[in-house]
Amino acid sequence: MSKRGLAIVGIGEVPTSRDPERTRWDILLDVCMEAVRDAGIDKNQIGAVISNNPMAQPSMQNDMSLGKIPEVMGLEGCRDIAICNAGGASTTNCLRLAEQHIESGQADFVLVPHTTIQSDIPAQQLINFFATAPLDKQFEYPYGVTFNGSMGLITQRYMYETGATEEQLAAVTVALRAWGALDPLSIFYGKPITLEDVMNSRMISTPLKAKECNLLADGGGAMLVTSHDIAREMGEKAVYKRGHGTRFMSATPFMREDVFHRKAYRESSQDALEQSGLSIHDMDLRQIYGAYPYTQCSALEGYGVCEEGQGASLWADGRCGPGGDLPCTTMGDATGRGHTGSGVSMAFYLDTVRQLRGQAGERQVANCENAILTTSGGSVMNTCTTVFGRSPQ
Amino acid sequence: MSEYNKPLPEIQPYSKGFWDGTRQHKLLIQHCNSCDANIFYPRRDCPKCWSQDLGWIEASGKAEVYTYSVTLEGVEEMFVEDLPIILAWIDLPEGIRMHTNLVECEPEDVHIGMEVEVVFRDVTDEVTLPFFRPVKK
């Protein structure tokens, strides 16, 4: 049997929240078991466990890196494990490695889990982590920069070059929170906000206001993946990877020539679309993991959905949120769902699966056949773009 | 000098020249003698051609604001006394972009394209940080 291709056939996720009473292992076991049951396979059919490295969770990193998951869960068919760390692009790398296990014939099914608890880590420690891990400790950190500050710098320039207004960018957050308000897995479920709420929230790092910055939260999710051929026998639950492209820019934000990542969004999406035999206009859903509002605009410009500089007006005109004709980021991004570290990218894949399966509830995109998804790690060091479809080709 | 409680740059062997320069109130840019590239931040090897024949040129100290952001909250405790902090990326005529703070000005006076110049602050006996301030017309 051909072992080619990658398909997601099982998903599990816990609601994003701030609940230090839940342990990291409780979340991990719950999401893994849910994914296995969702796929309808036996646990001993899992041939490998490729974990998403949880940022700032050293004990869990060690457990995941050194084989605790198959041992604790009794995965008797597991032939190997590994952990992937590329920050917010970790899940993408887990899928790449999982595909290699499948194509080489070593595994029919691969489990890809993530778990994170940030609510038991002091705020000052988290500010320090996000200021030092993705930023330069010699030429940025001594200047009092935070992650919000770094993204504020890029957002200011985006507004300068495109003429996008603070109100237009605030509309991005309103739309992301509107998606989150409809999603039981979002920390903001049932909590939509208005343009005034965003505009009147405290200024953090100009032009970014409190509602436009991320709430660090706890969460976890898991996927079960297999080859296209095996997935085809599993019926409607399968969602197929159709194409993938990726571009790296820089680790350090000020080193980036492609400051809004448009070229990286464009080239990575062109590669993914070309492999899938589809056009950007065939995409029923665009899922953009950028964690800050400008990325939701510049990605649409890079994809070729609109002209450069027009991204913010699409959001401001209500076209990308619930009820719009260009639904984007139904997952809510970190701003609309809660930031679970490298788990945000996991949740993006899971939400894309739900949309393509028709299981997205009130957020369901009508006739969702194909979706494009971009994840990024660090300070948006890269753009990893994948096209998924309900059919394998 | 009162005790400086903020993070100091983690100086590397190959960036020592830069920080030795700031102590003498000179802004030095690493320069590749093989391919003529100006390099920032300093490395062991030229990122363009991998030459290790690297030296230093003195920058004019003039620059232009590429972008800025005024941080009002959310910093680590030791930076709270400095709020608001004006973060900026500045472009040097030597083809270098740096991250810095703008000082000796009010947040509302800052704009993209503003001409700035380097100003040095000796934050400890060993470390001098370069900041930038508006050029007085």
Q: Token digits for A37? A: 């049951």
Q: Which positions ≥6 away from A307 have C-beta within 8 Å?
A: A301
Which residues in chain A have their CB less than 8 angstroms from residue B112's CB?
Answer: 156-157, 160
The widest CA-to-CA distance across chain A, in whole angstroms, is 59
Phi, psi (5° rounding) for residue B27?
-95, 105
- Overall pTM surpassing 0.90 (yes/no): yes
Q: What is the mean pLDDT of chain A?
A: 96
A124 contacts B82? CB cut-off 8 A: no
Distances (CA, A) of A386 to A75, A228, A241, A268: 29, 15, 7, 8
B82 contacts A156? CB cut-off 8 A: no
Query: What is the tens place of the pLDDT at every residue in A216-262?
Result: 999 999 999 999 999 999 999 999 999 999 999 999 999 999 999 99
Distances (CA, A) of A124 to A23, A97, B79: 21, 35, 12
CA closest to B7 among chain A residues: A142
Q: What pLDDT, on the 0 to 100 scale, is given for residue B37?
A: 97
Whether A1 shows a pLDDT value over 60: the answer reads no
Query: What is the tens place of the pLDDT at every residue in B36-87?
Result: 999 999 999 999 999 999 999 999 999 999 999 999 999 999 999 999 999 9
Reported ipTM: the value is: 0.96
Query: What is the tens place of the pLDDT at every residue in A368-393?
Result: 999 999 999 999 999 999 999 999 98
Q: Token digits for A243? A: 């194409």
**For testing the chain B interface, which of A158, A166, A249, A254 should be mutated: the one with the most B CBs within 10 Å?**
A254
**Cβ-nearest to B10 among A138, A153, A154:** A138
CA distance A214 to A222: 22
CA distance A12 to B106: 51
Residue A374: strand pairing partners:
A288, A385
Which residues in chain B have their CB less than 8 angstroms from residue A136's CB?
Answer: 41, 99
Between B136 and A222, where is the model more confident? A222
Say whether A276 sits in a helix, a strand or coil.
helix
Q: What pLDDT, on the 0 to 100 scale, is given for residue B2?
A: 63
A202 contacts B85? CB cut-off 8 A: no
CA distance A197 to A200: 5
List the single range of A1-10, A20-29, B126-135 with lowest mean pLDDT: A1-10
Residue A223's Cβ-count burial label (10 Å; 0-12, 13-18, 19+) is: buried
Give the A-side interface with B, CB within 8 Å.
Answer: 124, 127-128, 131, 136-146, 148-150, 152-157, 160, 202-208, 213, 252-255
CA closest to B43 among chain A residues: A138
Q: Which of A281, A279, A269, A224 is nearest to A244 (CA)?
A: A269
Q: Is the dihedral of CA A222, A172, A182, A327 positive or negative?
A: negative
CA distance A338 to B57: 46
